Amino acid sequence: MTRPSHIALHRAFDDARFGPARTLDLRSMMPSAAEALRRAEPWLRERQMARAGDVLVITGRGKGSPGGIAVVREAIRKLFGTLKRKGVIAGFEEHTPGSFVVTLASVRALFETLPRSRSNDSRVKPGDPKELLALDAPTRAQLRALAERSLDVLGAPRTDSLVHDEMVRQFAILSSAVAQDETDREGRLQFLIEAARDAFDDV
C-alpha cells in the first residue's frame, strides 16, 4: 500500500511538472462520464492551441463508482483514441492508476489534410461561406486569413472553393475548443484563430 507521504510527494512532483494550467482534475469535479467528456475535449483542444505540450488528466480510479467500475476513466481513455485520430493528441500513457499524461499534437496536425475542392468551382461566389454569416465580420476576416495561410503552407491553390471549404473546416475544428459555458464564445474563437495563425507562421 502506498503511504500518504509518498502520495503527497508524487502530487508535489506533478504540480511542479504540470501546474494548474496543464492539469485537468476531473476527479475533484466528480462528473458523470458524459460531463467528463464535455469538459475534457474542449480543454484538450484549447491546450493544443496554446501549444502546452504534455498535460495531466486526473480521472480518479473509480472507487466511488457503482460496482467500483471506473466509468469516467474508461470514457476518457476512449476519448483519447478518438482525439488521436483527429490530430488533437499525439499519444497518452497511464501516469498513475488514476491519471494520464497526454502529449498534445502540434497545431499544424489539425490542418494537414487538404480540403477537397468542390466539383464546380465556378458556382462558388466570392465572399464568406453562408454557414459562417452568423459570425461577426472581423471573425470571418480572421478565418479567411487563417484559411489562406493554411492553404499556402499545404501547397494548395487559393481558389474561392478551397478558401470557402477551408474556412468552414477551420471553424469546425476551432469551435470544438470553445466550451459551451464560455461567456464570450466569439472572443475565445478569435483568440484560437490567432493562435492557429501563429502556429502556421512558425512553420
Burial pattern 25-56, b for ≥16 Cβ within 10 A else e, equals ebbeeebebeebbebbbbbbbbbbbbeeebbb
Over the stretch 44-76, which tens digit does the pLDDT of each residue have? 998 988 888 899 999 988 666 655 668 899 999
Over the stretch 70-89, which tens digit does the pLDDT of each residue have? 889 999 999 999 999 888 99
Q: What pLDDT score was predicted for residue 113?
A: 56
DSSP state of 126: S
Which residues make beta-bridge pairs with 102?
55, 92
- CB-neighbour burial class of residue 189 (10 A; exposed 0-12, middle 13-18, buried 19+): buried
DSSP string of 182-201?
-SSHHHHHHHHHHHHHHHHH
Q: Which domains does the chain have, with CATH numbers?
A: 4-105 (3.30.1370.110), 109-201 (no CATH)
Residue bearing cell 502529449: 103
Distance from C-alpha of 198 to C-alpha of 51, rounded to nearest angstrom: 11
pTM over 0.75, yes/no: no
**Local confidence band at 3 (pLDDT 50, 70, 90 cut-offs):** low
Looking at beta carbons, which pairs linking 116-125 to residues 24 or more positions away fall under 8 Å? Answer: 116/165, 117/159, 117/161, 117/162, 117/165, 118/161, 118/164, 118/165, 121/159, 121/160, 121/161, 124/159, 124/160, 124/161, 124/164, 125/160
Q: Which amino acid is at 158?
A: R
Over the stretch 92-103, which tens digit does the pLDDT of each residue have? 999 988 899 999
Over the stretch 160-186, which tens digit does the pLDDT of each residue have? 888 998 899 889 888 888 888 788 989
